[in-house]
Structure 1
Amino acid sequence: MLALWDLQKSRLVCCALLIAAFMLGGCSSQLADMSAADTPAHPKEPAGYLPVHDLPPDRDQAIIPPDQRAKIEAELAAARDRQAVAAKDAK
């Protein structure tokens, strides 16, 4: 009975080793497909830094006219108040 157990255990170990070998073989074939020709070459001179302090044109002009801005702010404040009342009532 003990010999049968050892035989099954050795078969299991052999199968595990065979599966591991196939898995590692699959990884190495993918690595072999990669070549240095596929990678882009580095530029000889590094690119300059992006202009951080340059602002887009017409930055000083308001996009929304003041009267529309006041109307939008009033609508948002009213919505906030309605939500606060609804949250208080839900408790």
Structure 2
Amino acid sequence: MDGFERGVVTRISVEIEYPDGSVEITEISDPGHVSAVVFDESAVIATDLCAFNVSESDWRANPAMMVHTDAGAAGIPLGAHNDRRN
């Protein structure tokens, strides 16, 4: 056997509750290429902090998470209330 066999993640759904009480369910596209999902500021890499901590005065601009598709690459902010599609 070459390497370890394991299950493959085919879908990542996240339910986000915003400070105003509204709720959104979002899908992370192409989960096979996701290397990390970061929810806490303490785990956000320094170069991504400006995209994670966007506004102290408007929570709607701040994403709920950062998604990384390659180790060390810039994260993709997801879940900002301003980005809602519905």
TM-score (norm 2): 0.17
Q: Which structure has the greater CA radius of gyration?
A: 1
The structure with more helix, counted as a fraction of residues: 1
The structure with more strand, counted as a fraction of residues: 2
Q: Which is bigger in relative contact order (C-alpha 8 A, separation at least 6)?
A: 2
TM-score (norm 1): 0.17
